Amino acid sequence: MVAPVAVDKLLDRVESLLDRGDTGAVVDILRRLHPADSSEILYRIPAEAQNLVMQELPWEEVADVLEELDEEEMVEVVSGLTVSELADVLDEMEPDMAADLIGELDERTTEEILTEMEAAAGVAPLLAYPEDSAGGIMNSPRHMLQRHMTAGQAMRFLRKHYEDAHDLYYLYVLDGGGSTVPVEAAPGQVGQGRLVGIVSLRALLLAEPDARLDEIMDEEVLTAPADADQEEVARILARYNLLAVPIVDEEGRLLGIVTVDDVVDVLEEEATEDIYRLAQVNEEAVVFSPLPQAVRARMPWLVVNLGTALISSTVVAQFAGTIAAVAILAALMPVVAAQGGNAGNQSMTIIVRSLALGQIDLKDFWAVFRHELGVGILHGLALGALVAGVIFIWLGNPILSAVIGTAMLGNFLVAAVVGVLVPMTLRRFGVDPAFGSSMMVTASTDILGFTIFLGLASYFVAWLV
């Protein structure tokens, strides 16, 4: 029985070993851990120590550890390696991860690295695919079965090439044009084989040894193109409970395989991105970002919001005369604005998430719009009445009560409209619906909320003083 490792405690020990200059002991610790844990420790020790440690590890193990980090982290950790050391490490990495790392380097370093690498032919084609496409996350198809193999040949072939069940997601079958020679295509390179089917392990085990694979395979295979959005592929896999999705070109030739462990990472990343964007934080933020990076991820949004807030304040300034006469309006106007902002962000968030999960799309616009308007009217009537009641009890002025109640209802309608319109419009123009939605919804409910409330108040000002 093995429990997850307490990385923090280990990190303390590693740091005290490093203080004593005992790199050897640190290397021993890292080698005993799962790469998911040793990568965290390696990433968190000082740069010089990182370099010392990597020099004492076999490149293959350095590669395993790096594969657990994300691109930015990888680049940071390898920054002390020479070009030829880095090329050696990249040769040992999964091609898709190597391509991710190389994608972060500048053009000249990339060229140097590819010249030095032995496995360059397997990695270079992957660099053509955007990082967030199916091509960008697919793995090497490696050793594929072919339709003219017999079950017996396939068993011997698997026995030879597959290290453990973790490598073995599905048994895909290629059309190698009559040859029984295994296809060893580099990922992203078009192999000889068109994908023609999938064989279950059980079918393979049960079959007569001389049965041909194309007699026992299932020809229905769900595939995706290399330029598909990584999130779409992730959703297909999640929807059909698959362990892997094969990626094919237009002729149906196998380019690579997207596996469930990559998909889990994609879904986590995409959720984090949405959560951060909804809170107006750029997605590269991490909890302990160095200050300049933290400021870069957040300040632009604060500046934009300052702009919209100042626009709202010029709206309020138009009503300075009314406010000077009835100062309590200043205390009440944020209530109307805040309720609209909250309701608008509720609608907007539900729509953003439902779009992301594929539960709705653009053609559902009117259905969603009617639904949110219905919710907005109910909320507006209920909370408008509630606030009118509270204000009447507090201040005793029935006209003021009616004004705030009506303004609240109005702002709930504004909230419903912009809560739907903003994310749907962004999606319509191919922008992430989470991007900037909060800002636009809040600006609308502030500006229109102030206008409706102070406008009504100005009209009835004679009854308010």
Closer residue to a copy of itself (CB): 121 or 324: 324
Residue type, 236: I
Please tell me the distance from the alpha carbon of residue 93 to that of residue 78, in angstroms, as a whole number: 13
The three-point CA angle 341-347-353 to 5° equals 125
**Closest separation in Å from C-beta 120 to a copy of itself:** 26
Tokens representing residue 326 in the block: 């009835």
Tokens representing residue 151 in the block: 């079950």
**Closest separation in Å from C-beta 438 to a copy of itself:** 9
**Closest separation in Å from C-beta 263 to a copy of itself:** 7
DSSP 357-406: TTS--GGGHHHHHHHHHHHHHHHHHHHHHHHHHHHHHHH--HHHHHHHHH
**Closest separation in Å from C-beta 113 to a copy of itself:** 26
In 10 A of CB 174, how many CB atoms? Answer: 27
Please tell me the distance from the alpha carbon of residue 206 to that of residue 8, in angstroms, as a whole number: 49
Closest CA to 205 of 167, 155, 150: 155
**Closest separation in Å from C-beta 350 to a copy of itself:** 6
By residue count, the chain amounts to: 465
**Closest separation in Å from C-beta 104 to a copy of itself:** 21
Closest CA to 311 of 419, 414, 446, 437: 446
Pairing of strands 244-248, 224-225: parallel
Closer residue to a copy of itself (CB): 12 or 118: 12
Tokens representing residue 380 in the block: 């507006």
Closer residue to a copy of itself (CB): 120 or 333: 333
Tokens representing residue 289 in the block: 């970002």
Please tell me the distance from the alpha carbon of residue 342 to that of residue 340, in angstroms, as a whole number: 5
**Closest separation in Å from C-beta 82 to a copy of itself:** 30
457: CB partners within 8 A, 6+ apart: 319, 322, 326, 329, 400, 403, 464
**Closest separation in Å from C-beta 16 to a copy of itself:** 18
